[in-house]
Structure 1
Amino acid sequence: MKGFLTAAVASLAVSQVSGHYIFQQLTTGGTKHPVWKYIRQNTNYNSPVTDLSSNDLRCNEGGASGRNTETIEVRAGDSFTFTLDTPVYHQGPVSVYLSKAPGSAADYDGSGPWFKIKDWGPTFGGGGAQWTLSGSYTANLPVCIPNGEYLLRIQNIGIHNPYPAALPQFYISCAQIRVTGGGNTNPSPTALIPGAFKATDPGYTANIYNNFNSYIVPGPSVFSCGSNGGGIEAPPASTTLATSTRPATQPTNAPAPGCTNPVAKWGQCGGNGFSGSTCCAAGSTCNAINQYYSQCV
């Protein structure tokens, strides 16, 4: 029995890891730094946060402290890149935030005000919406922000499963940076996290499969000055796109005959390049979210 439980726990952990993604690597000054060197490592594998009242919305589960994370110096106006272990495949916006630490970024829990510096939202046309799905996201720091240490936060909100039947999923990471060469502008608007995202936000409750022809990214509006540009960036031609049309459903309400490794609910069960089990545990169905990802729901 002990061996069976151990195997079951290991199987669940593998399912969690294979089913989602995490922003785990930072690039600055043209150097792609080692995984987790400047990004706080989360403790929930790559599972999402769904509780709008949770402090985990700041820097993910396990990200309240950065004492085991180094802080990298970045000049105001310079570019940075967040890279994931697996490209984003859940349709929904990607946003970047900053919060200035009162002292050391490593000691900062993110409880102060946050301001947004970038949104990647949908573009509409051809009867549907197109989202930027990528393995990395690049933006610039605003040139006018004050010098000091900051938490640099990136999030993807997966709205692929319509609310309220399923809650939007927040995929979050925070890097620790020390800004130099900045200005003296106090960014605005700002918001606290939790608190920046509400269950009544149209960008939170949006159903991407039903009459979806406009979208407001949740959170405060983008602050911009100089080279960071701000605003919503349209998907570049070289980026993989996902169109918000209702996906086909694979009829697997119960494990298929001969299936010895059914995927737990919410785990990945298909998609281009996926080599794992394609049948779901009893009570869930393998649903094709897009060509890159199918999930047991």
Structure 2
Amino acid sequence: MKGALSVAALSLAASEVSGHYIFQQLDIGSTKGSLFQYIRKNSNYNSPVTDLKSNDLRCNVGASGSGTDTVSVKAGDSFTFTTDTPVYHQGPTSMPPGSAASYDGSGGWFKIKDWGPTFSGGQASWKLDSTYTFNIPSCVPDGEYLLRISQLGIHNPWPAGIPQFYTSCAQIKVSGGGSASPATVSIPGAFKDTDPGYTANIYSGFTSYTVPGPSVFTCSGGGGGNTGGSNPQQPAPQPTTTLRTSTTAAGSSPTNNPGNGGGSGGCSVAKYGQCGGNGYSGCTACASGSTCSATNEYYSQCV
């Protein structure tokens, strides 16, 4: 079986654009991969994808199977995506014909993991790390897959700002699997500018969150909707030849007030976090050693 897997996480390439990040390394269990050995290398450095209708939403700009190795993995084994710079934008993270190397991702995808926010005392907490680890579902059929990880940054609230997808795809060959047939979605098409998780404003009345995209597939089924921290309900199985994993993330991270912003009083923004811009109502004071610099009228960051 050939297919496409998608998880939720973060991604972007090198570091010519300040303040962004990219998933550039895939490890299988304790076996370390080198930079872009198993991950398709993109051509837009560490810049995000913002066009919901673009095929670049699948694996990033210019990312093809040319020169990328395909790594063998057993169903049920763990994998880890690593970024060049730790993720700092608040938001959720979510984990074919021919070989994986020749597959363009135009078939179906299904999601196997979301890292959503948790809410406590009126504030949201996100998993903002440089590594994201999960397991290949034990029930997926043997075959070659694209394993996608993506983060959606919503630190520039829609519609004044445009949410940002940080996405990467790894090429894997699964063995020892099962016979599951998860329901799938297409990319582009899985995310819409009317999705609550796409239009959410983390600086105003932010008390709940629904991760964009399909529900999370699990071999055993169950789970809740794809809101903060829980595994969404498994969709009804349908015949498919592809699998996928996807990540989503939102907003920049003030050090003392993640989630609601609320001006500069009593809080500060970590280096490379957002500190201003049209429509922004979060912290405006930067952590010691950095200053707030305007990139454009909608976005300023601590550098």
Q: Give the TM-score band, short-chain normalised.
A: 0.7 to 0.9
The residue type equivalent to 1:93 in the other structure is: P
Aligned residue in 2 for 1:31: 31
Distance in 2 between residues matched to 1:154 and 1:170, nearest whole Å: 10
Aligned residue in 1 for 2:208: 214
Q: Displacement of 1:247 after TM fit?
A: 5.7
Distance in 2 between residues matched to 1:92 and 1:282, nearest whole Å: 22
Q: Tell me which of 197, 201, 204 is aligned to 1:203.
A: 197
Distance in 1 between residues matched to 2:102 and 2:82, nearest whole Å: 24
Distance in 1 between residues matched to 2:100 and 2:296, nearest whole Å: 46
Distance in 2 between residues matched to 1:45 and 1:92, nearest whole Å: 21
Q: Displacement of 1:174 after TM fit?
A: 0.2
Aligned residue in 2 for 1:166: 161
Q: Displacement of 1:279 after TM fit?
A: 3.5
The CA deviation string for residues 25-44 of structure 1, in whole angstroms up to 9 with x for no partner, is 01103112100000000100
| SS at structure 2 position matched to 1:18 | coil
- What TM-score results when the alignment is normalised by the length of structure 2? 0.74
The residue type equivalent to 1:186 in the other structure is: S
Report if the CA contact (8 A) 1:144-1:226 is conserved: no
RMSD: 3.2
| SS at structure 2 position matched to 1:19 | coil
Distance change in 2, residues 1:126/1:179 (3 Å): same
Aligned residue in 2 for 1:21: 21
Q: Displacement of 1:18 after TM fit?
A: 2.5
Distance change in 2, residues 1:278/1:244 (3 Å): closer
Q: Displacement of 1:248 after TM fit?
A: 3.9
Do structure 1's residue 104 and structure 2's residue 104 form an aligned pair? no
Larger Rg: 1
| SS at structure 2 position matched to 1:280 | strand
Report if the CA contact (8 A) 2:15-2:46 is conserved: no
Q: Number of residues paired by the alignment? A: 249
Q: Tell me which of 140, 158, 166 is aligned to 1:145.
A: 140
Distance in 1 between residues matched to 2:16 and 2:229, nearest whole Å: 30
Higher relative contact order, chain-length normalized (CA < 8 Å, sep 6+): 2
The CA deviation string for residues 240-291 of structure 1, in whole angstroms up to 9 with x for no partner, is 99720216469xxxxxxxxxxxxxx9xxx9966977x75436857635xxxx
Report if the CA contact (8 A) 1:92-1:131 is conserved: yes
Distance change in 2, residues 1:285/1:134 (3 Å): closer
| SS at structure 1 position matched to 2:57 | helix
Report if the CA contact (8 A) 1:142-1:226 is conserved: no
- What TM-score results when the alignment is normalised by the length of structure 1? 0.75
Aligned residue in 1 for 2:180: 185
The CA deviation string for residues 116-165 of structure 1, in whole angstroms up to 9 with x for no partner, is 00000011111111111011000001100010000000000001111100
The CA deviation string for residues 164-194 of structure 1, in whole angstroms up to 9 with x for no partner, is 0001100000000000000111112x11000
- Unpaired segments of 5 or more residues in structure 1? 1-13, 251-264, 288-293
Instruction: Give the 5 Å matches for 1:34-183.
Output: 34-63=34-63, 65-96=64-95, 101-183=96-178
- Unpaired segments of 5 or more residues in structure 2? 1-13, 231-252, 266-276, 278-283
Distance in 2 between residues matched to 1:110 and 1:272, nearest whole Å: 41
Q: Displacement of 1:54 after TM fit?
A: 0.3
| SS at structure 1 position matched to 2:67 | coil
Do structure 1's residue 243 and structure 2's residue 258 form an aligned pair? yes
Distance in 1 between residues matched to 2:15 and 2:41, nearest whole Å: 19
Distance in 2 between residues matched to 1:280 and 1:128, nearest whole Å: 26
Aligned residue in 1 for 2:300: 286
Q: Hey, which of these two has a bigger chunk of strand by percent?
A: 1
Distance in 1 between residues matched to 2:285 and 2:72, nearest whole Å: 40
The residue type equivalent to 2:55 in the other structure is: N
Report if the CA contact (8 A) 1:158-1:170 is conserved: yes
Report if the CA contact (8 A) 1:73-1:178 is conserved: yes
Report if the CA contact (8 A) 2:210-2:227 is conserved: no
Distance in 1 between residues matched to 2:129 and 2:296, nearest whole Å: 32
Percentage of matched positions with identical amino acids: 60
Distance change in 2, residues 1:281/1:176 (3 Å): closer
